[in-house]
Chains A and B, each alone.
Chain A
Amino acid sequence: MSDTTEIVKASLARRYRAERRFRFYGVLAITISLSFLAFLLISIVFRSIPAFTQSSIHLDVALDAETLGVSENPDYAELRTANYSGAIKKAMRERFPDVSKRKEKKNLYSLISSGAEFQLRDHVISDPTIIGGNTVIWLQADDELDALVAAVDDVTNIGDVKTRLNEQQRGWIAELQQAGEIKTRFNKTFFTNGDSREPELAGIKAALFGSAWTLLVTFLLSFPVAVCAAIYLEEFAPVNRWTDLIEVNINNLAAVPSIVFGLLGLAVFINFFALPRSAPLVGGIVLSLMTLPTIIISSRAALKAVPPSIREAAQGIGASQVQVVFHHVLPLAMPGILTGTIIGLAQALGETAPLLMIGMVAFIVDIPAGITDPATVLPVQVFLWADSPERAFVAKTSAAIVVLLLFLIVMNAVAVLLRKKFERRW
């Protein structure tokens, strides 16, 4: 045996160890990355759980005209402005008759959400004949109660769970629980309300509608423009400087930070063209400029994938270039183009920064009814709630994120399915 072989043999064990180590680093990198992903998703889903349930308190409210401050036969206007919170407070006092001190009373009232009076109001307006008698109603509980009931089984013994409720308040809650007068059910309010300062009343409906309007504008603008641009670049563009310039621009735009598009929207559409601030119209325009490169690039790929034989066959039977493209190439490329569009729109749905620039960061309670109404979108709602000091907003934020992610998953799944179903290999 020669020396070289000896040397090689001696080093083999070390080299194989290095090989295994290197491979292990690869597995490790993937594991770490994916466990970050899992941790992120799990922690957010876990935090969101309390937001999907809502506690209510069973109350027997006396609706005498005197407490409500209305006449014997009240009209609609009177019913709208009647003193429902007084009635609720009275009912609470009657439920816990031994509460007498001012401060204690205040603590007692704080168990019920400040939105409960509107609940009672709607209940009474739907059937005014109940005035004068008693009504039994489940009223929304305060967010602190909500969080506590969701967190622990026994509210008198809470361990190290943090809460603002004091011992006496927890005693009342325990009493209500034992009497079966607190129940927890699915939180419909979260999906039917707009934003609110009170966590238990805050919902994502306004943000969902804002997102829908914004995405509609984005789709209507970006889809036709992007498809036309892709068709031009793929099928018609002569090789010249203008074409080169367009291509360079599209590639660069794809990498411009999204916040810069927000600056563009602010300077051009709001200050120069004087379009309304905070409106889905401007948001949609900005987002469509942002998603254009994505959709153009994927549409071009889809057009390129249509084999030349299709074009040649169409030309062979006398179709003009425009006819070839619009009658044959485009329909065949459509699934690919739609896939790209959905992915682009999913990107737009999750975008926040440019919308902050154009003022879609407003406190929106009402559901926007059109593209020029002030609106906010789901990710911006997440951003706003994430800034709120109330602890219950953490759950609300997480729940809004879960809803946002669900939409993104659905959109991407549709894109994948579309590709799978219509993908053709020639």
Chain B
Amino acid sequence: MQSNTLLLVILALAVVSYFFARHKAFGVLKSNGSVSARHSLPAHYGYLLALWCAIPALAILLGWKLFEPGVINGMLVDSLPQQVVDGGDSRIGLYTNDINNLVEAGGIESIADADKQAAAQKLVSLRSASRLVLTVLVLAALLVSLLVGLRHMQPQTQARVIVEKFIKVILVSCASIAILTTMGIVLSVLFESIRFFQQVGFWEFVTGSKWSPQTAIRADQVGSSGSFGAIPLFTGTMLISVIALIVAVPLGLMSAIYLAEYASARTRSIVKPLLEILAGIPTVVYGFFAALTVAPAIRSMGESIGLSVSSESALAAGAVMGIMIIPFVSSLSDDVITSVPQSIRDASFGLGATQAETIRKVVLPAALPGIVSSVLLAASRAIGETMIVVMAAGLAANLTANPLEAVTTVTVQIVTLLTGDQEFESAKTLAAFALGLMLFVATLLLNVIALYTVRRYREQYD
């Protein structure tokens, strides 16, 4: 049977056993007295039997599907002709790939190469054998576990306890996916980075000032030096992020102050969601806007006062990114400003300070840690932002602090290195993972510092 059919069989049987056990339990419990006086409800017995029935078979099916390709491939490789095996791993890989494709395409009899035909036949027979064994195993597992489950269906069985334990295990594993994801990110990025640093030295990467990732395919190729000095990328990222913060911090902070201290409840309820729309617009839209509207505008403005502005200037990308992160600054700052206790303001008013003086000299210092952390979070957003810079910033790695020139960023380079066809093993591809590692570490640090400042601050007033 196909694995989809098997899955359906398992699920159908689980449903049937649920109703069967529930029905049975209802009768038994009723004949032993009132149903409600029992420890478990009839439905619990139903769930228990369904779990008994489905779990082992599902586990076998899943495990089989995970390991089947590897095992079959291994057996296929064992049966390959000697000259292929001698050719090394890449030759074997190509050969098995070829055979897989031939089998997918069908018509094995028409394969010209006798060796390949034999291998393809071997593959087909291995696959059908595997399917047969799987079917037998799953059906046997269903039968055995159903019988064992039925034996457990006694009135004294505490079905509810078992079922609820199972539910809790599911809940814990769902919650632990967060940890798995983080581990997945760290491990995948780290492993590829380590492989990259075996080819290119770590210090060369973090201190080198020349970035040109085109590695030479032939030894005598011109202009493909393949140097991986990431300093221009780091400075480019910093330049654009700083421009973004210069735009976002004053606008976001003043908006937050106005909304928290001056605005009426009505204004606030309208303006706050409107500002948050800015964070909800997809970044690709900002990228389009930056490349098509803002960059030419800045360019023509610069030319009218006699400045030469690159058409992919850092200023355009940074300014648009700044607009995008206004809500990140304003929302969090708004929250911390409103959480400053009113008594502090009243004390200041009592001494005769105006509202602006109170805000500047009393409220803002009290809210400062929260504001700093909001700025840090916004900065981490800016560093990790991809689409705006991909569409509006340049590709050339210039080491410059001039916002009118084109710079490139870490995220732009990750996208350029990884889009399009390339082999996975080359230093060029692996460099993207090293950059990803830097990005992950940098944003993580910023976030940890931001959370730490907020946490310390909160303790003051609670």
**A, B co-complexed:** yes
Interface residues of A (CB under 8 A from B): 8, 15-16, 18-19, 21-23, 25-30, 32-34, 36-37, 40, 43-44, 47, 224-226, 228-229, 231-233, 236-237, 245-246, 249-253, 255-264, 266-268, 271-272, 274, 289, 292-293, 296, 320-322, 346-347, 349-353, 356-357, 359, 361, 379-380, 382-383, 386-387, 394, 397-398, 401, 404-405, 408, 412
> For chain B residues 185-242, which have a beta carbon within 8 Å of chain A?
185, 188-189, 191-192
A253 touches B443 (CB 8 A): no
Choose among B178, B253, B377 the residue that contacts A293 (Cβ–Cβ < 8 A). Answer: B178
Provide the bound-state CA to CA distance between A259 and B377, in Å. Answer: 17
Q: Find out whether the CB atom of A249 lies under 8 angstroms from the CB atom of B182.
A: yes
Q: Is the CB of B436 within 8 A of A259?
A: yes
Looking at the assembled complex, report how far the CB atom of A3 sits from the nearest CB atom of chain B, in whole angstroms. Answer: 16
Q: Are B326 and A33 in contact (CB under 8 A)?
A: yes
CA gap between A322 and B386 in the complex, in Å? 43
Once the chains bind, are A259 and B411 in contact (CB under 8 Å)?
A: yes
Mask, B312-336, CB within 8 Å of A = 1, is 0000000000010010001000000
Q: What is the distance, in angstroms, from A65's C-beta to the closest C-beta of chain B?
A: 39
Inter-chain contact B254/A25, CB cutoff 8 Å:
yes
Give 7 nearest A-B pairs by CB, closest first: A257-B384, A26-B258, A350-B282, A29-B254, A267-B188, A228-B174, A22-B356
Report A-chain residues with C-beta under 8 Å of the C-beta of B338.
Answer: none
Partner of A257, one of B164, B179, B282, B383: B383
B344-359 vs A, CB cutoff 8 Å, 1 = contact: the mask equals 0000000010111101
The answer to whether A394 and B292 have CB atoms under 8 Å apart is yes
Main secondary structure of the interface of A (DSSP, over half): helix
Task: List which B437-456 residues lie within 8 A (CB) of chain A.
Answer: 439-440, 443-444, 447-448, 451
Most buried by B among A33, A293, A398: A33
Q: Is B309 an interface residue (CB 8 A)?
A: no
Q: Write out the residue numbers on chain B whose beta carbons fall within 8 Å of the beta carbon of A231.
A: 171
Residues of B bordering A, CB below 8 Å: 69, 160, 164, 167-168, 170-172, 174-179, 181-182, 184-185, 188-189, 191-192, 250-255, 257-259, 262, 271, 274-275, 277-278, 280-289, 291-293, 323, 326, 330, 352, 354-357, 359-360, 377, 380, 383-387, 390-391, 411, 414-415, 418-419, 424, 432-433, 436, 439-440, 443-444, 447-448, 451
Q: Given the complex of chains A and B, what is the CA–CA distance between A28 and B391 in angstroms?
A: 29
Max chain A CB contacts within 10 Å: which of B160, B164, B282, B447?
B282
A23-B262, A263-B436, A321-B164 known; A383+B385 contact, CB < 8 A: no
Chain A nearest CB from B273 CB (Å) reads 9
A225 and B174 contact, CB distance less than 8 A? yes
Tell me whether A246 and B188 are in contact (CB under 8 A).
Answer: no
- In the complex, chain B residues whose CB is within 8 Å of the CB of A271: 424
Whether the Cβ atoms of A236 and B287 lie closer than 8 Å is: no
Given contacts A33-B323, A320-B160, A352-B387, A361 and B419 within 8 Å (CB-CB): yes
Given A266-B418, A352-B387, A386-B291, verify A253-B182 contact (CB < 8 Å): yes
Residues of B contacting A: mostly: helix
Are A22 and B255 in contact, CB atoms less than 8 angstroms apart? Answer: no
**CB-nearest residue of chain B to A381:** B284
A353-B386, A405-B285 known, 15 other contacts, Cβ within 8 Å: A19-B354, A228-B175, A231-B171, A232-B171, A252-B444, A257-B386, A257-B440, A259-B384, A259-B436, A260-B439, A263-B185, A263-B436, A353-B415, A397-B288, A412-B280
Cβ B188 vs Cβ A263 within 8 A: yes
Question: Which A residues are in CB contact (< 8 Å) with B355?
Answer: 19
Chain A residues contacting B69 (CB-CB under 8 Å) are 274
Q: Which of B177, B326, B354, B448 contacts A18 (CB 8 A)?
A: B354
Q: How far is the CB of A216 from chain B (nearest CB, A)?
A: 18
Contacts of B352 in A (CB 8 A): 8
User: Would you call A30 and B171 a contact (CB within 8 A)?
Assistant: no
Contact A386 B292 (CB under 8 A): yes
**Whole-angstrom distance from the CB of A352 to the nearest CB of chain B?**
5
Cβ distance B418 to chain A, nearest Cβ, rounded Å: 6
| Max chain A C-beta neighbours (<10 A), residue from B168, B292, B386 | B386
Known: A19-B355, A43-B289. A30 touches B255 (CB 8 A): yes
The CA-CA distance from A30 to B258 in the complex, in Å, is 8
Question: Looking at the complex, which one of A26, A29, A292 makes contact with B181 (CB distance below 8 Å)?
Answer: A292
The answer to whether B175 touches A252, judged by C-beta atoms less than 8 angstroms apart, is: no
Verify A251–B274 contact, CB threshold 8 A.
no
Q: How far is the CA of A312 from the CA of B192 in the complex (A)?
A: 52
Q: Tell me, in angstroms, the Cα distance from A289 to B448 when the chains sit together.
A: 20
Say whether A26 contacts B175, CB under 8 Å.
no
Asked if residues A357 and B387 are in contact (CB atoms below 8 Å), the reply is: no
Complex contacts, B289 vs chain A, CB 8 Å: 40, 43-44
CB distance from B444 to the nearest CB of A (A): 6
Among residues of B, the one whose C-beta sits closest to the C-beta of A350 is B282
Chain A residues whose CB sits within 8 angstroms of the CB of B188 once the complex forms: 263-264, 267-268, 272
* Chain A contacts for B451, CB-based, 8 A: 251
8 pairs, CB–CB < 8 Å, chain A vs chain B: A26-B262, A225-B177, A252-B182, A255-B443, A257-B380, A267-B192, A292-B181, A386-B288
**Inter-chain contacts of A404 with B (CB < 8 A):** 282, 285
Determine if B280 and A228 form an interchain contact, defined as CB atoms under 8 angstroms apart. Answer: no
* A229-B178 in contact given A29-B251, A259-B411 (Cβ < 8 Å): yes
Contact A29 B258 (CB under 8 A): yes
Chain B contacts of A224 at CB under 8 A?
174
Which of the residues A33, A47, A267, A347 comes within 8 Å of B255, measured between beta carbons? Answer: A33
